[in-house]
């Protein structure tokens, strides 16, 4: 039999946590319209196109360049060097950093025409990006550096790192960003974003996302390891209240 003296403190903790536990209310963001679950509209073409953003080439990115009808100039893999330049036959050295693939296409086509290639049709595709990455660190399942492809948001970036884990402190998520040499930081509540309390902020290349660590979750994990087996159901109940 479990001694009452051991159960009372744990039960008291459970009751306190139960009183504090509330389900976040859906909505709050003035740009968000909350609808019944069966009334969400289907995205239109413009909505899907809005999820894309221009890609700007950076150092060490790998491109695949084709010139239609010219075998020697087709399917050529080119890597941008540390200075942001690339070299291409008949076109010479091109400053690629900060340009979109479409702008690089135009530059190569212009130079090929000047080199007596009639009406060159140039295609530049991204093969591998090194410069456009976001760092996701802290209490996520797979911290690391991930490419920013198209438009990415905070929730999307965390999902790319395989989501939060049992020790994540969802109201302690910080985004670090450098603009014009000035470093900035902003604090976000991921749980509130998930429930539409405010918008899901856009993430940009070179951002650093740090997900906080909940000490309370660690303490309950330690408690679960040391209490007698007979008290485990109560400890699990208390543990659930912290989720």
Name the more confident of 212 and 115.
212
Name the more confident of 130 and 199.
199
User: Are residue 110 and residue 160 in the same domain, yes or no?
Assistant: no
Range of the domain at 122: 62-128
Q: Which of 3-12, 96-105, 149-158 has the lowest mean pLDDT?
A: 3-12
pLDDT, residue 226, reads: 60
User: Roughly what angle, to the nearest 10 degrees, separates helices 215-226 and 232-241?
Assistant: 170
pLDDT value at 15 more than 60: no
Residue 161 lies in a domain: yes
Q: Which of 65, 83, 206, 89 is nearest to 146 (CA)?
A: 206
User: Are residue 138 and residue 208 in the same domain, yes or no?
Assistant: yes
pLDDT value at 188 more than 60: yes
pLDDT, residue 225, reads: 61
Sheet strand arrangement including 133-138: 144-147, 133-138, 208-213, 168-179, 182-188
Q: What's the structural domain count of the chain?
A: 2
Residue 208 lies in a domain: yes
User: Are residue 157 and residue 121 in the same domain, yes or no?
Assistant: no
């Amino acid at each position: 039999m479990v001694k009452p003296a051991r159960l009372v403190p744990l039960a008291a903790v459970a009751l306190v946590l139960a009183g504090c536990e509330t389900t976040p209310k859906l909505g709050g963001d003035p740009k968000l319209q909350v609808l019944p679950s069966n009334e969400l509209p289907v995205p239109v073409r413009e909505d899907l196109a809005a999820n894309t953003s221009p890609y700007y080439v950076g150092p060490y990115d790998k491109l695949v360049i084709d010139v239609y009808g010219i075998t020697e100039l087709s399917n050529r893999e080119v890597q941008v060097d540390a200075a942001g330049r690339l070299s291409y036959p008949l076109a010479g050295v091109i400053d690629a950093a900060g340009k979109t693939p479409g702008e690089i296409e135009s530059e190569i086509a212009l130079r090929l025409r000047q080199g007596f290639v009639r009406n060159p049709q140039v295609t530049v595709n991204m093969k591998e990006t090194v410069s456009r990455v976001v760092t996701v660190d802290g209490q996520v399942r797979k911290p690391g550096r991930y490419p920013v492809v198209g438009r990415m948001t905070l929730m999307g970036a965390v999902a790319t790192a395989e989501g939060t884990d049992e020790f994540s402190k969802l109201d302690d998520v910080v985004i670090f960003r450098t603009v014009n040499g000035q470093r900035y930081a902003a604090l976000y509540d991921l749980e509130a974003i998930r429930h539409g309390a405010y918008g899901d902020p856009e993430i940009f290349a070179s951002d650093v996302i740090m997900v906080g660590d909940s000490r309370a979750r660690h303490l309950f994990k330690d408690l679960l390891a040391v209490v007698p087996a007979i008290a485990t159901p109560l400890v699990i109940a208390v543990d659930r209240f912290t989720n």
